Amino acid sequence: MKYAVKKLYTFLIFFFLYAPILVLIVFSFNSSKSRASWDGFTLNWYVELFRDRQIMTSLYYTLVIAVISSLAATVMGTAAAIGIHNMKMVPKSICMNITYLPILNPDIVTGISLMLLFIFIKIPLGFFSMLLSHITFNLPFVILSVMPKLKQLDSQIFDAAMDLGASRIYAYRKVILPQIMSGVLTGFLLSFTMSIDDFVVSFFTTGAGVSNLAITIYSMARRGINPKINALLTLMFISILLLLVIINNRMSRDVERKASVN
């Protein structure tokens, strides 16, 4: 009986998580604009999607900002996590508490604060300001993804590499980084997803002529959901899913290879 309840509970969780996405995918192939009826299968909305200049421009800004901000946040966040890990207990505790604050802080507070900061230091609101804001709120996710992997490391492995003649940079690059790579990849994927998903911070830190998909979708949704949006979100969901499958397969192969060597 308990096993059946657990299975039902798990099914309900996944159902409520993925049922809306399945509905969105199905209606992206609906020939009608109505979300209340199915009038037949069509790929017309996908064709119209790539003809929509506004959506394509927003997609371009979204992907460029997501890739650049994720890479920058991953590099800086990984370096910060290594630095925090090597601190003494009190400074380390203080830095970790500071790291948690941007995650717990409401997005609207972060967005307005960054907007005021950019205005105060006279950075024009636009592409660059949005990029800086995305790097800022992505950093804590990278740090918190890498820190558990650093804690799992043998505390003597870095000293052993140094004793064998490796420089500090070489030891970090060839010894430490491969050991924490799964956490680094997790941080990158989290940053990439958060950047694509963000609306509030982007809304307050962008300028005229620069908008990501979240802002564009919000503007279009006020006039009613266009089926082209369903098609776009379907493609984004499938792309992220394929990326996760590829990375998970690669990480599984690396684990199996290490196990076979040991």
Residue given tokens 């966040």 in the structure block: 77
Within a domain: 105:
yes
Within a domain: 255:
yes
Together in a domain, 35 and 102: no
Q: How high is the pLDDT of residue 115?
A: 93
Within a domain: 187:
yes
Q: Is the pLDDT of residue 259 over 70?
A: no
Are the C-beta atoms of 196 and 120 separated by less than 8 Å?
A: no
Closest CA to 125 of 192, 215, 222: 215
Together in a domain, 35 and 71: no
What phi and psi, each to the nearest 5 degrees, are found at residue 30?
-80, 130
Element (H, E) at 249: helix 227-261
Lowest mean pLDDT among 50-59, 84-93, 119-128, 252-261: 252-261
Q: DSSP code of 36?
A: S
Rounded Cα–Cα distance for residues 236 and 30 (Å): 18
Q: How high is the pLDDT of residue 130?
A: 93
Residue given tokens 């740090």 in the structure block: 143
Together in a domain, 66 and 137: yes
120 vs 177, which has greater pLDDT? 120
Residue given tokens 């790539």 in the structure block: 50
What phi and psi, each to the nearest 5 degrees, are found at residue 72?
-65, -45
Together in a domain, 82 and 108: yes
Q: How high is the pLDDT of residue 258?
A: 61
Within a domain: 2:
yes
What are 129-150's pLDDT values in tens digits?
999 999 999 999 999 989 988 8
Can you tell me the mean pLDDT for 46-69?
90
**What DSSP line would sit under 138-179, residue for residue?**
HHHHHHHHHHHHHHHS-TTHHHHHHHTT--HHHHIIIIIHHH
Residue given tokens 């009613």 in the structure block: 224
Together in a domain, 33 and 58: no
Q: How high is the pLDDT of residue 70?
A: 94
The answer to whether the pTM exceeds 0.75 is yes
Q: Is the pLDDT of residue 33 over 90?
A: no
Q: Is the pLDDT of residue 262 over 70?
A: no
Together in a domain, 132 and 156: yes
Within a domain: 165:
yes
What phi and psi, each to the nearest 5 degrees, are found at residue 117?
-65, -45
Q: Is the pLDDT of residue 84 over 80?
A: yes
Q: Is the pLDDT of residue 50 over 60?
A: yes
Together in a domain, 114 and 23: no
Together in a domain, 151 and 187: yes
Q: How high is the pLDDT of residue 261?
A: 56
Within a domain: 48:
no
Q: How high is the pLDDT of residue 239?
A: 82
100 vs 135, which has greater pLDDT? 135
What are 174-195's pLDDT values in tens digits?
788 888 888 898 889 889 888 9
Are the C-beta atoms of 115 and 125 separated by less than 8 Å?
A: yes
What are 205-247's pLDDT values in tens digits?
998 888 888 888 888 777 767 788 888 888 888 887 887 777 7
Q: How high is the pLDDT of residue 5?
A: 81
Together in a domain, 113 and 9: no
Sign for the CA dihedral angle at 198, 203, 205, 206 comes to positive
Are the C-beta atoms of 98 and 157 separated by less than 8 Å?
A: no
Mean pLDDT score of the chain, rounded to an integer?
A: 85
Rounded Cα–Cα distance for residues 252 and 37 (Å): 43
How many other β-carbons are positioned within 10 Å of the β-carbon of residue 199?
15
How many other β-carbons are positioned within 10 Å of the β-carbon of residue 260?
7
Lowest mean pLDDT among 77-86, 117-126, 230-239: 230-239
Could you list the residue range(s) of the whole structural domain that residue 234 is in?
Answer: 53-261
Rounded Cα–Cα distance for residues 123 and 222 (Å): 30
Together in a domain, 86 and 188: yes
Which residues, at least 6 apart from 135, have a Cβ–Cβ distance to it below 8 Å? 69, 72, 73, 76
Within a domain: 224:
yes
Sign for the CA dihedral angle at 100, 103, 108, 110 comes to positive
CATH number of the domain encompassing residue 195: 1.10.3720.10
Within a domain: 188:
yes
Together in a domain, 33 and 96: no
Rounded Cα–Cα distance for residues 188 and 210 (Å): 24
Q: How many domains does the chain fold into?
A: 2
How many percent of the chain have pLDDT more than 70? 93
Can you tell me the mean pLDDT for 30-40?
75
Together in a domain, 17 and 119: no
